[in-house]
Amino acid sequence: MYKLITKFCNFIFGKHNNNTLPRYWILAVDMIIVVISYVGALFMLYFQNIKSSGFDWSRIWIVPVVYLVAFLISRTYDGMLRYSGFNDIRKIFSACTSTLAFLLISKLVFTKVAPHVAYELYPRYVTLVYHYLFTMVIMILMRFTIRRLYNEVYKNTGDKMNVLVYGAGDGGTVLLRTLSQDTQSRFRVKAFVDDDPKRVKSQINTIKVYSPEKALTPDFIKKYNIDVMIIAIPSLSEERSREIIEKGMSLNLIVKSIPAFDKWVDGKITSNQIQDIKIEDLLGRKPIILGKSNVIREINEKVVLVTGAAGSIGSEICRQIMHYNPEKLIMLDQAESPMYDFQFEMNNTPDFKDMHDKMAFVITNVKDPVRMREVFEMYHPQVVFHAAAYKHVPFMEENAYEAVFVNVFGTKLVADLAVEFGVEKFVMISTDKAVNPTNVMGATKRIAEIYTQSRKGNTKFITTRFGNVLGSNGSVVPLFRKQIEKGGPITVTDRRITRFFMTIPEACSLVLEAGSIGEGGDIFVFDMGEKVKIWDLAEKMRKLAHRPDIEIIETGLRPGEKLYEEVLANEENTIKTDNEKIMHAVVRKYETAEVDSMIAKLHAELETCDQMKIVAQMKVIVPEFKSNNSIFSQLDK
């Protein structure tokens, strides 16, 4: 029987381009259904005496002709049979109902005006109604039968993965429909699981719904050979979602999810929208959502300069700023290729399609005084976000000269130009590594903080500190992903090492908010949530990749690297702001003359290119700088 069905489907679909039935075939079949339905209606009504139907068989043409016109107008034959759905039912219902209405009304008119015409052309009213019902039902059944046959015969059953769908509500139902209709889908739904006791033991299209206690067990997973769990509850809380993900991972399942309701198209999702669980979903912190009024006040209709604009933080700051309607956004970076890619992205972002005249892209180095002055003279920025910096700790340990030149004197140059050209606000992106620094990079950022805080004048200098950012350049997350893709091992410097994490959009939104509320001389620190053990992060990423075979190894702390990052120094404390996610750090204040003297001495040592002398002067400026690098640690003695 199965072979016969296969041959039938091959005959219907196989000889046509893209396995698509020609439209005229569908129309022809629909017209055959119209004729067969008419004959069927007559036999059902008058099966005892067909002659009593009062209809001349030689004049059967009127009903099919009217239906043909209705089908052509409604284009009922346009849909692909294997994807028949509600829209096709609507078209068929509309065409058949309008045809019935026309035939009934026209027969009524002819009965009044020309009774003999009505008798010769039209069947009885009851025949028209029965014929209408038969035609509509058979056309709909034909489409769904063909769709079912096609799905059963043509869908790829060779490499299917058995799926447990978590959520038997609207999300799960739509997901089941999507996977059932997609012949290229790799997933086969075997069971549902739901927290609602009322749904447990019910069925959705013959697929049973189980409780979590029943389904999320090794025996159940083994019995049904489950490979994947898809979370189909878009409105699920972060905490509950994390629990479910962790449970699925503990059962060695590939865990995926469907997008939020606002990402669905016409109440539907596609197989391509089924997304992998990201490591951000397992960090245990709630997304930070801020108001926009403060940022609008600071950015709207103003000229804004962002340095380091091609970097992960700088580029996201630029994206967010463009949503606040700046008069002009100047994006500056020295990295040519990343800047080219970022320019292409911004110019082709639909949200910014009418804002190209508001964007300017500049290639230069923040330590170049001639070019930077030209930028300020040309654009006269009112707000500056200074994100340009060297950030890689091991590299900067080996290149202290360049770290000081860019992070300290590059910042000094931009800050001095900001004061000279009357910039309203200067927001510097710092790091938690500036707190009790143990490496050159952290110490340079602390010196940059000290310099900007000591500036006097109308320009308000604001510093923002935060920890590691997921997915940013240099973050462990992309490193671990690359190592997993290569088959391992995953390298962690120390099993005990911990870090604070937040997402790039969260960090940048907090930077914009802090910049808007700062009044000058401020250092703001962000709520980074709980510390994350890097070893645990590596294990979770390994499980998410479904690669338990990949080894995680310790490589030892790198020069200048801390086991634990801090947000505030020991002698510092914080004051709450109106935003619970942003704290105002109370730090030591430096006099301008004192800072200028220390910076001048640092510049003198910089000219020697002697790394030991450079670092020694850095330790004078930042006494709490205790290097973890064996080369520089001897300077502490």
Q: How many residues are given for the chain?
A: 637
Instruction: Measure the CA–CA gap between 191 and 271, rounded to whole angstroms.
Output: 18
DSSP 8-state secondary structure symbol assigned to residue 43: H
CB 486 within 8 A of CB 623: no
Per DSSP, the residues of 88-105 read: HHHHHHHHHHHHHHHHHH
At residue 555, φ and ψ (nearest 5 deg) are -115, -5
DSSP 8-state secondary structure symbol assigned to residue 259: P
**Annotated catalytic residue: which of 107, 433, 540, 562?**
433
Residue 256 β-bridge partners: 230, 276
Instruction: Measure the CA–CA gap between 47 and 45, rounded to whole angstroms.
Output: 6
Structure tokens at 97: 């109902």
- Give residues with Cβ within 8 angstroms of 319, minimum separation 6: 346, 349
CA of 385: how far to CAs of 142, 303, 331, 430, 570, in Å?
Answer: 64, 11, 10, 11, 28
Q: Is 433 an annotated catalytic residue?
A: yes
Structure tokens at 124: 């009885």
Instruction: Measure the CA–CA gap between 488 and 378, rounded to whole angstroms.
Output: 50
Residue 305 β-bridge partners: 330, 384
Structure tokens at 310: 């091609």
- Residue 63 three-state SS: helix
CA of 288: how far to CAs of 240, 285, 502, in Å?
Answer: 18, 9, 9
Structure tokens at 431: 């790091």
- Residue 520 three-state SS: coil
Per DSSP, the residues of 159-176 read: T-EEEEEE--SHHHHHHH
- Identity of residue 535: W
Instruction: Measure the CA–CA gap between 495 and 483, rounded to whole angstroms.
Output: 17
Determine the angle formed by the axes of helices 312-322 and 504-517, rounding to 10 degrees: 60
CB 459 within 8 A of CB 493: no
> Is the preceding omega at residue 381 within 30 degrees of 0, hence cis?
no
- For residue 612, count other CB atoms closer than 10 A to its CB: 14
Sort strands 254-257 and 228-231 into parallel, antiparallel or unpaired.
Answer: parallel
Exposure string over 169-207, b if 16+ CB within 10 A, otherwise e: bebbbbbbebbbbbbebbbebbbbbbeeeebbeeebeeb
3-state helix, strand, coil in the chain (%, to 5): 50, 15, 35
What residues are labeled active site? 433
